[in-house]
Structure 1
Amino acid sequence: MTRQKIQIKKIDNIAARQVTFSKRKRPFQESSRAFHSLRRRDSSFSVFKHRQALRLQSRKCAMLSKEIAEKTRELRRLRGEELQGLDLEELKELEKLLEGGLNRVTQTKDERFFKEINTLKMKGVELMEENQQLKEKMENSPHVAEQGQPSETAGHAWRSFSSDISLRLGLPYPN
């Protein structure tokens, strides 16, 4: 049930032509007016929203830049750079703040040192246990007789280990 395409023909009668044109023109004009009125309202509303958003953004930006400037000034004072404008109370407050920070730093450093010492002690105990196990393993393992030594002396050779090896550096034949 589709509509068939209507062929538009030229209307010869002038009065009939004007009536037909006005019938076709009126719905377009009404929809155009409605669209433009909606468009004006939306644009004014969007402009209002954008202005309000810009105001909020500028307020936030101003607050953040003020906070950054304040924190930068505080950091400079902590470094000891801008102390000329401070009165006695502010200097005492700054001193307390610095002492608190220094105490936290030394406490953290001490904790890390104690942890390091404890881990090294545990590692030393583990190495001593491993050394003891290796000694027991050496005493219990059968030893192969070395060249020209009886098997009894070869077993105790590792205990009294002394070396007479010497190393000489230089040319093999003097000229």
Structure 2
Amino acid sequence: MQQLIEKHKLHPDNLGKMDQPCLELQLEYNTCTILRKEIEEQTLELRKIKGEELHGMDIEELHKLEKDLQVGLSRVIETKGEKFLEEITALQQKEAQLMEENQRLKQMENLFSVQTHVLEQGQSSESITHICSLSDPPQDNDSSETSLKLGLPLPNRI
């Protein structure tokens, strides 16, 4: 059987077939050649955009390249402007939050100084509660109520 296969391979009609690459390999080679050419063209185009391969271009090609670059640059500038506006807006919102927090802390400081003053005067805790209820309480973002009592309650004086 092996001898028959060898004779078949050595026959003059079959020798030409053995040397021809298969159709699949030819298609892959053609595809590879097309892709290689496309890569070369894109690389040259990129070099032109970067300003590296301008010597072979005529005035019309240079003008078209300049126009394309100007359009691209205007898009970059526009996008950069949008990003700046977004950052400015975010910083303005943060500023407003910090100002609200600062106002709340000032109110708490004022309340604390009133309570400290009352305690130094030796008044009762009921009068402190009364003074605190008259003052403008700080507005918290959460709805929980908190109170601050300093020291021990003073005995009521008669």
Task: Calculate the TM-score normalised by the size of structure 1.
Answer: 0.53
Q: Quick check: 1:144 aligned with 2:116?
A: yes
Aligned to 2:97: 126
How far the C-alpha of 1:144 sits from its partner, in A, is 3.4
How far the C-alpha of 1:101 sits from its partner, in A, is 1.1
Runs ≥4 residues deviating over 4 A: none
Task: Calculate the TM-score normalised by the size of structure 2.
Answer: 0.58
How far the C-alpha of 1:140 sits from its partner, in A, is 2.2
Q: Quick check: 1:95 aligned with 2:99?
A: no
Q: Secondary structure at the match of 2:89?
A: helix
Aligned to 1:110: 81
State percent identity of aligned pairs.
45
Q: Secondary structure at the match of 1:144?
A: helix
**Distance (Å, rounded) in 2 between the aligned partners of 1:68 and 1:132:** 63
How far the C-alpha of 1:143 sits from its partner, in A, is 3.8
**Distance (Å, rounded) in 2 between the aligned partners of 1:108 and 1:123:** 23
Q: Secondary structure at the match of 2:101?
A: helix
Q: Answer with 1 or 2: which has the greater Rg.
A: 1
Q: Secondary structure at the match of 2:22?
A: helix
> Runs of 5+ in structure 1 lacking a partner?
1-31, 37-46, 152-175
Deviation per residue, 1:64-112 (Å, 9 max, x gap): 1111100110011111111111111111110111101111111111111
Amino acid at match of 1:64: L
> Runs of 5+ in structure 2 lacking a partner?
6-17, 122-158
How far the C-alpha of 1:139 sits from its partner, in A, is 1.6
Aligned to 1:60: 31
**Distance (Å, rounded) in 2 between the aligned partners of 1:82 and 1:89:** 15
Map 1:1-175 to 2 at 5 A. 51-141=22-112, 143-144=115-116, 150=120
Amino acid at match of 1:70: E
